[in-house]
């Protein structure tokens, strides 16, 4: 099984951007841990991070036929991008929406997601550990039942 992990704007600054809000784990730390989890559960993971909405949509399009599912932390685009939701719908790829913080305990504009209605699951508030939870959950959801 192949799972893509996509990160949107400002996530390249994870670990240094407002560490009191987003934590001290860097995106490289997250990727290293996810590689270890992927080996443990027998899946392949790939990683992309883009700051531009169009670039992130291009990454989604490139997953058509190349991934079985995706985890996306679209950052602020989660709250505003119909185009990103449409990109996932266009390629019919199952995905989990992920947020490092609990967006429902933050500013009102962060409490609505454009992606959630198309996601197989939404995970927020567990810090960088949420990526591992999202990976395990998505793989369990996609695994064929015996």
Active site residues: 22, 99
Please list the helix, strand and coil fractions of the chain in percent, rounded to the nearest 5, in that order: 50, 20, 35
Dihedral, CA of residue 94, residue 12, residue 27 and residue 48, to nearest 10 = 40
Burial class (CB in 10 A: 0-12, 13-18, 19+), 81: buried
Cα separation of 81 and 73, whole Å?
Answer: 13
Spell out where 8-134 has E strands: 44-49, 69-73, 95-99, 121-124
Cα separation of 19 and 26, whole Å?
Answer: 10
């Amino acid at each position: 099984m192949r799972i893509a992990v996509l990160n949107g704007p400002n996530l390249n600054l994870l670990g240094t951007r407002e560490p009191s809000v987003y934590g001290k784990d860097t995106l490289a730390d997250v990727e290293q841990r996810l590689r270890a989890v992927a080996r443990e559960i027998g899946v392949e993971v790939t990683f992309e991070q883009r700051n531009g909405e169009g670039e992130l949509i291009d990454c989604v399009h490139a997953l058509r036929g190349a991934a079985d599912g995706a985890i996306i932390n679209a950052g602020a685009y989660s709250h505003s991008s119909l185009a990103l939701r449409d990109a996932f719908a266009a390629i019919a790829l199952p995905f989990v929406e992920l947020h490092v913080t609990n967006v429902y305990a933050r500013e009102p504009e962060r409490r609505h997601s454009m992606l959630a209605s198309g996601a197989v699951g939404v995970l927020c508030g567990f810090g960088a550990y949420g990526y591992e939870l999202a990976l395990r959950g998505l793989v369990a959801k996609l695994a064929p039942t015996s």
